[in-house]
Amino acid sequence: FEEIDNNEEELEKKFKDIKALIFSNHHKSKKQEEFLELLRRKEEAIRHLYKFLEERKITFYLQPIVSLKDGTISHYEVLMRFLENGKVVSAGTYIDLIYELGLIAEFDTLLLELLGERIRELSLLGKPIFINISDEDLRLFSYRRKLKKLLSEFADRGIPISLEITEQTLFKEWEFIDALAHDYNLKFVIDDFGSGYSSLKMVADIVAKGLGNYLKLDCSLVKNYLTNPYIKAMVDGIVSFTRNTHLKTVAECVENEEIKEALRKAGIDYGQGWYFYKPMPLEEALKLSA
C-alpha cells in the first residue's frame, strides 16, 4: 500500500507541475498558448452546442439524389444544420464534437421533431427520404418513440423512408430494427461505404437479413475513381457484387460531368453531389419538384 500511496503522491505532484506549466501566466511558450487557445475554442463550441439544443437552433437541408440514367431526382437526403447568429452552419462544423460529447441522440431526436412539424411539405416532395441515424440514437427511448411516430406518419402519406447508417454497432439493436423494418416497411442505406466502420461483413449481414436497399459509396472512393486504378477496380467489384443483391448503388461527391459519366458507365445507379445540387432548404426543394 505504501508504494501505491507514494505513486499517488508522485502523480499528484506531476499533475500540479503540468497544471502550473499550462496555467501559469508568466513565460507561456508558443505551444502552451496554442494549447490554451484550442481549449478556449472547444469550450466556446460546447457552449454553442448546448445553446442549439436549449433554444432549438437547428434546422435541416435537403440534398437531392439523382438517377444517373436519366438525371431525374429520385430521393432526398436530410442533412442537419445549425442556426448560429442568423447563419446556417453545416453539420460538419460540429458533428465530431457532438459525437465526442455523447449528444448525437439529443440532436437527432430534435431533428425528428422538426421533420414531424414539416411533414406535410416533406410529403409534397413526393420522393423517398433518407435520414441519417447513429447507433446511439436507438438507445434513447424518446428517439425510438419519435421515430416510430414519424415513420407511421410518413407511411400514411405514402412516403418511403430509409435510414442511413454508418456504424456496425447499430446492429446490436437487431430486435428493434427487425420490428421497425417489418412494421413500417423501413429499409437501410449503408452510408459512407469505404470509410469508417462500414465493413464488408456489415454489408453481407444487412443483405442476408434483407434490410438494405442502398449502398452509398464514400466521397473518397468517388473522388479517386478516375485517377487511382485500384480504387476503380474496387468500385467496379462492388458494383458487380450489388448486382447479385437487392442493393442499389449511390455515389456521393459527384462534382463534375466527367466523373458522373464514368460512374454511370460503371453501372452506379444514383449520384449525389455538387454537380447536380447542393444541400438546400425545404422551400427550395419544393420549388424543384413543383
Cβ pair 129, 75 in contact under 8 A:
yes
For ligand G, the binding residues in 184-213 under the rule CB under 6 A are 191-192
- Residue closer to Mn ion (CB basis): 137 or 164: 164
Helix (H, G, I), strand (E, B) or coil at 215: strand
What is the length of the chain? 290
Q: Which of 108, 150, 207, 225 binds ligand G (CB under 6 A)?
A: 108
Q: Name the minimum Å distance from CB 104 to ligand G.
A: 5
User: How do strand 161-165 and strand 270-271 relate by DSSP bridges?
Assistant: unpaired
Q: List 190's β-bridge partners, or say none.
A: 165, 215
Closest CA to 271 of 248, 285, 250, 256: 250
Q: Which positions from 131 to 150 touch Mn ion by CB under 5 A, shown as an x/- string?
A: -x------------------
Q: Which does 134 bind (CB under 5 to 8 A by kind): ligand G, Mn ion, none?
A: ligand G
For ligand G, the binding residues in 218-237 under the rule CB under 6 A are 219
Residue ranges in 191-269 assigned as alpha helix (H): 200-208, 219-224, 229-243, 257-266
- Residue closer to Mn ion (CB basis): 135 or 164: 164
Q: Which positions from 188 to 227 touch Mn ion by CB under 5 A, shown as an x/- string?
A: ---x------------------------------------
Q: List 63's β-bridge partners, or say none.
A: 77
Helix (H, G, I), strand (E, B) or coil at 1: coil
Q: Which of 62, 73, 111, 190 binds ligand G (CB under 6 A)?
A: 111
Q: List 130's β-bridge partners, or say none.
A: 77, 162
Q: Name the minimum Å distance from CB 7 to ligand G.
A: 42
Q: Which grid coordinates are listed for 240?
A: 458487380
d(CA 86, CA 249): 37
Residue ranges in 83-173 assigned as alpha helix (H): 95-100, 104-117, 119-124, 141-156
Residue type, 168: Q
Site size toward ligand G (CB under 6 A) is 24
Q: Name the minimum Å distance from CB 209 to Mn ion.
A: 21
Q: Name the minimum Å distance from CB 15 to Mn ion.
A: 42
- Residue closer to Mn ion (CB basis): 162 or 242: 162
Q: Where are the beta strands (DSSP E) in 68-105?
A: 73-84, 87-90
Q: Name the minimum Å distance from CB 272 to Mn ion.
A: 9
Q: Which of 180, 273, 282, 285 binds ligand G (CB under 6 A)?
A: 273
d(CA 214, CA 225): 19
Residue 132, interface with ligand G (CB under 6 A)?
A: yes
Stretch that binds ligand G, among 89-97, 119-127, 173-181, 229-237 (CB under 6 A): 89-97
* Interacting residues with ligand G (CB under 6 A): 63, 79-80, 90-92, 95, 104, 108, 111, 132, 134, 164, 191-192, 219, 252-255, 272-274, 279
* Interacting residues with Mn ion (CB under 5 A): 132, 164, 191
